[in-house]
Amino acid sequence: MCDLLDRIWSRPRGEWTRVVRNELPDLAEKVVAELQRGFPALAALLGDTPIEEAEWALEQALLTVLGYQKESESKRPAVSSVVTPMPVARARQDLFDVLAGQREAPDDGLHELARAAGWPVPDTLQAVVLATPAEAPQLAAALGHALIGTVEGYTCLFVPDPATQTRPRLEAALKGRAAAVGHVVPATDTASSLRWARYLLTLAPGRVGPDTRPAFVDDHLSALLLLQDESLADALTSRWLGPLEELTPRQSERLEVTLLAWLEGGGAPEAAKLLHVHPQTVRYRLRQIEKLFGPVLRDPRTRFELEMALRSRRLMAHVRSYRARAGRRARAVASSIRPLGMAREARVNGL
């Protein structure tokens, strides 16, 4: 704006109006682009409004403020594309907030709000959470005119009719982006899909590139279930993994990965394949484990809870490690959650 004013004042007064009208379109384009980058809520508010329409409105507002036209002269030109009037955009924002659990539903239900928003609420929905707001309106259009909004700084989409937005289609649309896709839920439970997609995004390492793929809640249901309450997860590990506490960290790690491999595989040979060690090594460690835990290992319920405890400990270690790294830098852009796999966790040869 300062550069524009300098150019205006450097010209004869009679040319000011011409300079302003020639320069303002470019300025309006830059201002709208910067606002969209800096304020994700603006992109959500615009809805399906063509970007050219927003630029034109800003240009008219600047002309009015600068005194080059009266407010009554700033009439909207006819456009061939579909425009979302601001009341509709407001209604869509309100509808998003209700579905996201950020405000109470109207007393008369969602029908009137959905009608005002021009966005009929389907029976089922699926949330998508983006790490960055770039090109969110275009993405929403590609995903069946998804409803856009923001939650605690994250740009989020509610994808209608998930049956038509298949996983390959979602992966193709989101490829190269840091994003998480929630599970399919009834419209009355949309906030749940959104909540778990956001949580999944916070657990992922910050790597973004052309081959980045979105993370899907459906791929991590058991991990998210175990992580939903850290206090309970800690209580579970304390209850069942206490016998390992007297060992050195190295000994405890070896027996933990062996016990989990045995519980997963069902026998020493299968555990040895998972750990890439000799079956005799696994049998030796299992004898040590039996001495520590006793006959409770024969109880199916105990084995189930032991497996949950072991998985919880590894998942919590992963989460805490990520949070520690995130605390030393700006919030990482997420792509996918990668819980530790048994084959990568332990490549131990011998004791």
Note down pLDDT in tens along the chain; length 351 residues. 556 555 555 655 555 555 566 666 777 777 777 776 666 666 666 655 666 667 777 777 777 766 656 554 545 444 333 444 547 778 888 999 999 999 888 877 788 888 888 898 999 999 999 988 888 888 888 888 899 999 988 999 999 888 888 889 899 889 888 899 999 999 989 999 999 999 898 886 556 667 788 999 999 888 887 777 777 777 878 788 878 887 888 888 888 888 888 887 777 888 888 888 898 888 888 888 888 888 878 888 888 888 888 888 877 777 666 666 655 543 443 344 444 343 333 333 333
Cα pseudo-dihedral 178, 184, 189, 193, rounded to 10 = -20
Question: Which helix (H) or strand (E) is 260 found in, with range?
Answer: helix 249-265
Question: Looking at residue 210, what is its pLDDT?
Answer: 75
DSSP state of 296: G
pTM metric for this prediction: 0.57
C-alpha–C-alpha distance, residues 117 and 90, integer Å: 8
Tokens 């704006």, residue located: 1
